[in-house]
């Protein structure tokens, strides 16, 4: 589709047009002209949107859709539409399905599902077979098929030797090992953050120690083996300190945080709303402050939505029995841009995560392939259930004030508007 974006403020620090308000003409999937006032050719569609800003296409490195196996939560086809309308042109797809993404055939299946769409799927393979934490999966074969990293999604690996072997083995092909930060023995049956609120509510708590012990263990293993380690969705102040110290030693460690853990505390639990049952559990304001500081000083490398649709049968239950997880593609940008500002937020969902996973980083200039997110930073609104595009409606942001609006995205010659 050939399109002309009228009066778009370009947000791309690598571009000569950064912060300029210009027209952008896209022909045959590539940017053909950027100028103050372009006349739309006969074979293109003119797009005029209020206070339009465009940036390089956003990448969410932690997304679950359900398919294969849990299509009632979200199919890949519909999930791609949700991502595109939420401004994302690329997603890292977790092994949160059945069968698990533990072979090159499943990786190939997932890659094929995104062909001809506006969103590129980058599968994250299981670290172990069937994500059971017992035997290393076919890591090299999966990487050759297109897997960008390896992770047993939301499962803390009990066997330290398994992480050690994975870090050693993946060095031969520069693979990225991900280790979820949770010591299962310390966490026990906890369903919320251990603290004042868990005590008041009578809910079993998971102490911050469960995360921090696992982070510390994995960093010791990394120091011993070398290799590349990513720690996803950290949630405590001490985790930030541990990872900052490891980086100062020169270890190849990166980490991420979900939008939920930057904006919501465990004070929300008083209504026993299972939409706030998330893994890792929501923590305290002290933790949020430390995580935000970690984002700003570069200790935390990027932000994800940790989008995890859960069907109503498994979410609308007594709090302790409900599944963990919240949707987040639709709310990531509008919940954070007023808190972090565009400079930090755009970097944390474009340049930095793309470089860590070895993916191409685009630029908004003539001749480049058009890979764009369309949005405005203006306006405030209350996030409602109707704003959830996903099949499953388990969002922790319902009822919260958000800032700005996502108009959609353009990628692979496909324009998707919300």
- State residue 325 phi and psi, 5-degree precision: 130, 145
Domain boundary among 306, 334, 356: 356
Rounded CA gap, 139 and 151, in Å? 10
Residues of the domain holding 268: 57-356
d(CA 52, CA 32): 19
Task: Please check whether residues 223 and 307 belong to one and the same domain.
Answer: yes
Which tens digit of pLDDT belongs to each residue from 109-118?
A: 999 999 999 9
Q: What's the pLDDT at 337?
A: 96
Residues 110, 37 share a domain: no
Averaged pLDDT, 137-149: 98
Mean per-residue pLDDT over the chain, rounded: 97
- Please determine, for residue 291, whether its predicted confidence score (pLDDT) is greater than 90: yes
Can you name the residues that pair with 45 across neighbouring β-strands? 3
What pLDDT, on a 0 to 100 scale, did the predictor assign at position 237? Answer: 98
Whether residue 48 is found in the same domain as residue 192:
no
Do 156 and 44 lie in one domain? The reply is no
Query: Are the beta carbons of 26 and 45 closer than 8 angstroms?
Result: no
User: How deeply is 362 buried, as exposed, middle or buried, from its count of CB atoms within 10 A (0-12, 13-18, 19+)?
Assistant: buried
Average pLDDT over residues 201-216: 98
Task: Give pLDDT tens digits for 253-286.
Answer: 999 999 999 999 999 999 999 999 999 999 999 9
Residues in the chain: 418
Contact 325, 278 (CB under 8 A): yes
Averaged pLDDT for residues 117-128:
98
- CA–CA dist 330, 385 (Å, integer): 11
Phi-psi region at 108: left, alpha or beta (left = phi > 0; alpha = psi -120 to 50): alpha
**Structural domain tally of the chain?**
2
User: What was the pLDDT predicted at 1?
Assistant: 78
243-257 pLDDT, tens digit per residue, is 999 999 999 999 999
Q: 116 and 137: one domain?
A: yes
Same domain, 384 and 246: no
Mean pLDDT over residues 402-412, rounded? Answer: 98
Residue 149 contacts residue 177 (beta carbons within 8 Å) = yes
324 and 397 part of one domain? no
Q: Which of 260, 287, 301, 306 is catalytic?
A: 306
Residues 340 and 398 in one domain: no
State yes or no: pLDDT of 385 exceeds 90: yes
Percent of the chain whose pLDDT exceeds 70: 100
Last residue of some domain: 356, 385, 408?
A: 356
Whether residues 34 and 171 share a domain: the answer is no
Predicted confidence at residue 42, as pLDDT, reads 86
Among 321, 336, 356, the domain-final residue is 356
44 and 156 housed in the same domain? no
For residues 167 and 224, state if they share a domain: yes
Tell me: the pLDDT tens digits for 42-78?
A: 899 999 999 999 999 999 999 999 999 999 999 999 9
Residues near 192 by Cβ (< 8 Å), separated by ≥ 6? 198, 201, 203, 204, 205, 206, 266, 269, 277, 281, 282
Separation of alpha carbons 59 and 351, rounded Å? 9
- The CATH number linked to 369 is 2.30.40.10
**Same domain, yes or no: 71 and 200:** yes
Whether 306 sits among the annotated catalytic residues: the reply is yes
Quick check: bond before 99 cis, omega within 30? Answer: yes
What are the residues whose beta carbons fall under 8 Å from the beta carbon of 248, sequence distance 6 or more?
Answer: none
């Amino acid at each position: 589709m050939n399109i002309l974006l009228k009066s778009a403020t370009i947000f791309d620090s690598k571009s000569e047009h950064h912060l300029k308000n210009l027209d952008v003409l896209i022909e045959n999937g590539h940017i053909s002209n950027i100028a103050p006032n372009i006349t739309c050719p006969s074979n293109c569609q003119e797009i005029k949107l209020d206070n339009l800003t465009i940036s390089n296409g956003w990448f969410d490195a932690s997304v679950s859709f359900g398919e294969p196996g849990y299509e009632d939560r979200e199919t890949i086809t519909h999930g791609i539409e949700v991502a595109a309308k939420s401004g994302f042109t690329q997603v890292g797809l977790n092994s949160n399905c059945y069968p698990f993404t533990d072979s090159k055939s499943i990786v190939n299946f997932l890659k094929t599902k995104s062909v001809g769409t506006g969103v590129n799927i980058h599968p994250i393979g299981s670290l172990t077979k069937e994500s059971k934490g017992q035997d290393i999966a076919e890591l090299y074969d999966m990487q050759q098929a297109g897997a960008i990293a390896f992770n047993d999604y939301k499962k803390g690996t009990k066997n330290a030797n398994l992480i050690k072997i994975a870090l050693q083995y993946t060095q031969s092909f520069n693979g990225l090992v991900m280790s979820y930060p949770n010591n299962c023995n310390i966490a026990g049956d906890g369903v919320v953050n251990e603290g004042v609120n868990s005590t008041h509510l009578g809910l079993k708590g998971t102490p911050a120690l469960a995360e921090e012990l696992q982070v510390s263990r994995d960093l010791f293993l990394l120091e011993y083996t070398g290799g590349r380690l990513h720690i996803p969705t950290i949630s405590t102040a001490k985790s930030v300190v541990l990872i900052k110290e490891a980086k100062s030693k020169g270890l190849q460690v990166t980490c991420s945080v979900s939008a939920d853990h930057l904006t919501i505390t465990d004070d929300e639990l008083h209504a026993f709303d299972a939409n706030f049952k998330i893994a890792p559990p929501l923590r305290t304001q002290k933790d949020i402050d430390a995580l935000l500081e970690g984002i700003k000083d570069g200790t935390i490398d990027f932000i994800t939505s940790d989008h995890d649709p859960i069907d109503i049968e498994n979410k609308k239950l007594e709090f302790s029995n409900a599944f963990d997880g919240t949707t987040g593609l639709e709310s990531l940008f509008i919940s954070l841009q007023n808190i972090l500002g565009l400079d930090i937020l755009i970097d944390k969902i474009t340049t930095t995560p793309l470089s860590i996973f070895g993916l191409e980083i685009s630029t908004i200039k003539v001749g480049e392939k058009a890979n764009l997110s369309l949005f405005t930073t203006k306006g405030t609104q209350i996030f409602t259930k109707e704003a959830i595009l996903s099949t499953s409606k388990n969002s922790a942001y319902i009822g919260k004030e958000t800032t700005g609006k996502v108009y959609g995205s353009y990628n692979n010659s496909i324009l998707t508007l919300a």
